[in-house]
Structure 1
Amino acid sequence: MNTIQSVSTAPTGPRRWYTHLYVQVLVAITAGVLLGHFNPALGEALKPVGDMFIKLVKMVIAPVIFLTIVTGIAGMRDLGSVGRVAAKAFAYFLFFSTLALVVGLIVANVVRPGEGLNIDPATLDAGKVAQYSAKAHETSLVGFLNAMIPDTLVSALAQDNILQVLVVAILFGISLASIGERGERVFAILDDVSIVVFKLVSIVMKVAPIGAFGAMAFTIGKYGVGSLANLAQLVATFYLTSALFVIVVLGAVARLCGFSIFRLIAYLKGELLLVLGTSSSESALPALIEKMERAGCPKAVVGLVVPTGYSFNLDGTNIYMTLAALFIAQACNVDLTLGQQLLLLGVAMLSSKGAAGVTGAGFITLAATLSIVPAVPVAGMALILGVDRFMSECRSLTNFIGNAVATIVVSRWEGRLDRGALDAALSGRELVLPGHAVPAE
């Protein structure tokens, strides 16, 4: 049942610059910013355009994950390697997620972006963050684990829960691989269906510029670029810290694994612009799965690492949580001891797990963290509510790049990374896998 996919690097002919997806998305984002700035009312009214595109993408996420994982696992000769890949992936996630939390904590203590604001927590409108606090109180370790198990085998594919799809797909893939030759027909059918689904993904991505335009016009129209001024130091600190984490930390990891982080970012430029425009890393999840396969990562590794990373490898969200928590404490003149900061770090490690790459998830997990650490007032979140949307974009971008790096690293650890395909992809040559559409960049 093991299949080997060959990679073609044959040129598909020159394409005009305006046909590339990243160019179209960049133009759309620029147009959205201008419209939102000069006509805020119209920009805010375009929110449904961005929402509908996100719904289109979510429509294909579950089948893409299911088919990728099932065909990847069933195509493996050794099922023991599935557990090995998962163990390596979680070891990577735990280390770098914790490192991201520590980086945010250190930067907040050095830069102290909230110092001098002298905010009295009693004067803050706690009602503004009540909805996030309510969702945060619903989050617990037991509740999280219970939510991973779907009500039925099929319901996982119908609900917006990546982890449920992941659980069902892994169990189904292992079961399919365990029955040997009798599973050949099912495997062949699913392999053919995956070709259709990836073609569907390429069709959906054609309207990505429209979705990015609507989402960006809404963001600027509702919140305005001027809203950044009041909390400019926090936003700037977060963006700079995230950029340094990607370039220095992930860049060092990439170099140790024999590739350039800058070339990887260039390879994913279309998806990164889409994430920037929609403020959600989930909008580019199907495209990331396809691109990682084209870059020489085996389907089984991609299927396990990418979807799992969307819940357990959130570098940007983790940097944000410790940085934002200490900003609130500093703004409210709350002096946290080293012990309290370590407690905050420990709680954030737990609460950050399970936050999918959806807009607002970082804010909810921050509320969950602060609700357990009483020294920092939860009402202080009202201070950053106005700029959270802008920081959400940076969180999503950092999370997205982190998961791309993780996929390549785990593939290399497994000794199954196709270096020729990776080098070809990162050097800008178009790659076409059997059953996948030509990349629309």
Structure 2
Amino acid sequence: MSSQSESSQSDIKNEHIVVAKPPKKDRTHWLYIAVIVALIAGITVGLISPELGKELKVLGTMFVSLIKMIIAPVIFCTLVLGIGSVKAAATVGRAGGIALAYFITMSTFALAIGLVVGNLIQPGSGLNIPVDSESTFASQSEESHAGLMGFIQSIIPETFFSAFTSGSVLQVLFIAILVGFAAQSMGDKGQPILDFVSHMQKLIFKILNWILWLAPVGAFGAMAGVVGETGFDAVVQLGILILAFYVTCFIFIFGVLGAVLKVFTGFNIFKLCRYLGKEFLLIFATSSSESALPSLMRKMEHIGVAKPTVGIVVPTGYSFNLDGTAIYLTMASIFIADAMNVEMSLGEQIGLLVFMIIASKGAAGVSGAGIATLAAGLSSHRPELLHGVDVIVGIDKFMSEARALTNFAGNSVATLLVGKWTGTIDSDQVRKVLDGKDPYVEVEEEEASSH
């Protein structure tokens, strides 16, 4: 009997050993380091041996081709599920409607700021990156200017599935909108369809994540090619773009968002950022605002916003309130146009802005979705500029932190604003927390999770 009990106890122990899996390690910092090393190596090769650098440019082009391959399914899944989120949020009531109206207004404003700053500083001017006149992208671009009716006609695909094989992002967008609204109109019967698309999105983003691990190779080839063609000017211009982007994001957070928060609620943006300091550090380390989502929801409840309002605004904001991504998309687009000496009219810039508003939904928290959305926007409006994305690939990781931090700040401010406008916030509690009189204690989380 004793031997049986001992063996059963050992089995139980073995079971516990099998079940208790170690936490999955985050290895994204290795990718970050690899990109930095690849950039330095690319610059070095481009300066020492310009001809070799030009030959290595194909590595960057191949990487962009991989990104382009995944654009259609990314846009389709993101938009179908995004439409589902809109309806879900809108049906919750007043808080959902106010939140969505604010998200659309503020993200559009952020896109406009990116356009204004990009046109003022004109990053990329003088790089003279050549446009391949024999490129299929260039030929598509010529067809896209066949007048308004020609443009509208080009949005409608020949067949349902040809949208995914034609290379036209606008056709994919059209099909995604139809599928999204059709699934929602089916009610509960449409939920399995949305669930399927959700699983498909996870699969697509898994593939995208694998592709992103090739970013160091793409960055090396792209940087070697650009420096080989233009010399050290490329490094200077890319540095100007990064600096301009960080300054623009800083001004947007503490200037624009700070002013909106002060005017409508009377709260201080600097105190709010101090309260969320740990989350800002976490986002800076991971380059993703998604990593701080659970903590933001708990802290917003602690600060005095009603739980239902937090439950509506924060998750929806992560899909529809992407201020940092918006600024990035427009500034990067203008940089590429300037670098390739392709003039974009104000009408084209506004058209691109509208496309980015729609296509960027759901990009927050998904590493690499910003590059995919940028490529999608350029592919739909000025396809010949798509070759310039490989230059941005090299510095995308350096811009991702500011992008994620701005997205996060925008959502924290939005939660307080919607709480104020819907009367679901305790203003006295907010002031008490922001003044440090009722600090958020991490032990509360541990106790809650243990129960």
TM-score, length of structure 2 as denominator length: 0.60
Q: Which residue of 1 aligns with 2:96?
A: 86
User: Aligned partners of 2:410, 2:103: CA distance in 1, in Å?
Assistant: 9
Deviation of the 1:411 alpha carbon: 0.3
Report the equivalent of 2:120: 110
1:174-199 C-alpha deviation (Å, 9 max, x unpaired): xxxxxxxxxxxxxxxxxxxxxxxxxx
Letter of the structure 1 residue corresponding to residue 176 of structure 2: G
Partner of 1:119: 129
In the TM superposition, what whole-angstrom CA distance separates every residue of 1:356-408 from its partner, at most 9, and x where no partner exists? Answer: 32111111111111111126511111111111111112111110110010011
Give the alignment's Cα RMSD to 1 decimal.
4.3
Matched to 1:327, the amino acid is: F
- The answer to whether the 8 A contact 1:322-1:345 is kept is yes
Following TM superposition, by how much is the alpha carbon of 1:354 offset from its aligned partner in structure 2, in angstroms?
3.2
> Which letter maps to 1:430?
P
Change in Cα spacing, 1:81 to 1:288, as seen in structure 2 (3 Å) is same
Q: Which amino acid aligns with 2:103?
A: F
Q: Is it true that 1:335 corresponds to 2:343 in the alignment?
A: yes
Superposition map of 1:21-420 within 5 A: 36=33, 82-122=92-132, 140-143=173-176, 146=179, 152=192, 155=195, 159=199, 229=235, 231-256=238-263, 257-374=265-382, 377-420=385-428
Q: Which has the larger radius of gyration?
A: 2
Deviation at 1:141, TM superposition (A): 4.9
> How much has 1:353 moved relative to structure 2?
2.4
How far residue 233 of structure 1 moved from its aligned partner, in angstroms, is 0.8
Provide the secondary structure at the position in 1 that maps to 2:192: coil
Structure 2 letter corresponding to 1:140: L
Following superposition, the deviation at residue 415 of structure 1 comes to 1.1
Q: How much has 1:294 moved relative to structure 2? A: 0.8
Give the whole-Å Cα distance in 2 for the aligned partners of 1:219 and 1:402: 28
Unaligned 5+ segments in structure 2 are 1-25, 39-84, 138-165, 184-189, 203-213, 224-233
The alignment covers a number of residue pairs equal to 317
- The answer to whether the 8 A contact 2:218-2:390 is kept is no
Q: Structure 1: which 5+ runs fail to align?
A: 1-27, 42-68, 74-78, 128-132, 163-217
- Identity of paired residues, percent? 42
Secondary structure class of the residue paired with 1:336? coil
Determine if contact 1:329/1:376 at 8 Å carries over to the other structure.
no
SS of residue in 2 equivalent to 1:143: helix
Q: How big is the shift at 1:122?
A: 2.2
Contact 1:294/1:433 (<8 A) preserved:
no
Q: TM-score normalised to the size of structure 1?
A: 0.61
Contact 1:144–1:354 (CA under 8 A) maintained in structure 2: no
| Counterparts of 1:267 and 1:381, CA distance in 2 | 37
Q: Does structure 1 conserve the Cα–Cα contact (< 8 Å) formed by 2:289 and 2:364? A: no
Shift of 1:245: 0.7
Q: Offset at 1:355? A: 2.4
What is the one-letter code of the residue matched to 1:143?
A
- Please report how far the alpha carbon of residue 142 of structure 1 lies from its aligned counterpart in structure 2 after TM superposition: 4.1
Report the CA distance between 1:229 and its aligned residue.
4.3
- The letter of the residue matching 1:270 is K
Using the alignment, how far apart are the partners of 1:235 and 1:135 within structure 2?
A: 30
Structure 1 pair 97/320, CA: closer, same or farther in 2 (3 Å)? same
Structure 2: which amino acid aligns with 1:387?
I
Q: Distance in 2 between matches of 1:153 and 1:331?
A: 43
Secondary structure of residue in 2 paired with 1:232: helix
